Amino acid sequence: MNIFRLTGDLSHLAAIIILLLKIWKTRSCAGISGKSQILFALVFTTRYLDLLTSFISLYNTVMKVIYIGCAYATVYLIYVKFKATYDGNHDTFRVEFLVVPVGGLSFLVNHDFSPLEILWTFSIYLESVAILPQLFMISKTGEAETITTHYLFFLGLYRALYLINWIWRFYFEGFFDMIAIVAGVVQTILYCDFFYLYVTKVLKGKKLSLPA
């Protein structure tokens, strides 16, 4: 494992922990898109079904279990524990417009036409757009809490680091995965505008608010 994948994993884990702590400490999920969190739970569930069929390493297994567990814990906090604070009026992105096309694409473009491979491909495609409901929610409210922006920053950083990881693996291991790379590029592009606002506003102590 190279340093870019490791730091990518740690950035991803940091994002998840930041979000869970934010919800738990404030006893509120205001400003958080429940729909994005459901999509991420679906991503991890369909990607890590290989936990039932193969063992790669202790690190690999532990991280997969943590991702799945935290994803469903987040969904539980939003839709059950702190349901009264969930802002469903602004979390209105039509997720079927993501899930259905992604599902169709995973059947058409994959490495191997087998159930586990199709589900893995589905998870890769879905992860690239799963943040859209959250970004859409921010665009509707016009602003985001600072802690929410930290969550989004680390989530975007994880994806960017993984892109570097794929480049590293191509040059030093001869490994190339077009599906993962294209999906990673799409996901990173979606974060570009947010990265700019994060650097120019949040890191300077200002609240992230969108232009009127």
Query: What spatial distance separates the first Cα and last Cα of the chain, rounded to whole Å?
Result: 45
H/E stretch holding 5: helix 3-26
pLDDT for position 23: 96
pLDDT for position 40: 97
pLDDT for position 209: 67
pLDDT for position 211: 56
Q: Does the structure show a pLDDT above 70 at 212?
A: no
Q: Does the structure show a pLDDT above 90 at 120?
A: yes
pLDDT for position 189: 87
Band (pLDDT 50/70/90 cuts) for residue 110 is very high
pTM of this structure? 0.91
Task: Compute the distance between CA of residue 139 and CA of residue 134 in angstroms, rounded to an integer.
Answer: 9
